């Protein structure tokens, strides 16, 4: 993938997370930043774990 593809994908992911956080903020009494942080942690930790496992298996072969 070219760098512009990565930029587009990153922007789409960021827009999706902001929209998800906005809807969570509107339906609950939480702060926008707190809900965005929670969503990023729920998405980021599993993604990082899967990425590290993938890199370990790729490095072994």
Domain ranges of the chain: 3-60
Write down the pLDDT at residue 17: 86
pTM above 0.75, yes or no: no
Alpha-carbon distance of 50 to 61, in angstroms, equals 17
**Does 61 score more than 80 pLDDT?**
no
12-43 per-position pLDDT tens digit: 998 998 898 888 888 988 888 888 888 889 98
Write down the pLDDT at residue 33: 87
24 CB neighbour count, 10 Å cutoff: 16
């Amino acid at each position: 993938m070219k760098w512009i593809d990565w930029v587009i994908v990153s922007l789409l992911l960021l827009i999706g997370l902001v929209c998800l956080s906005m809807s969570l903020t509107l339906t609950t009494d939480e702060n926008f930043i707190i809900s965005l942080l929670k969503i990023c942690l729920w998405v980021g930790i599993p993604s990082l774990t899967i990425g590290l496992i993938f890199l370990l298996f790729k490095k072994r072969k």
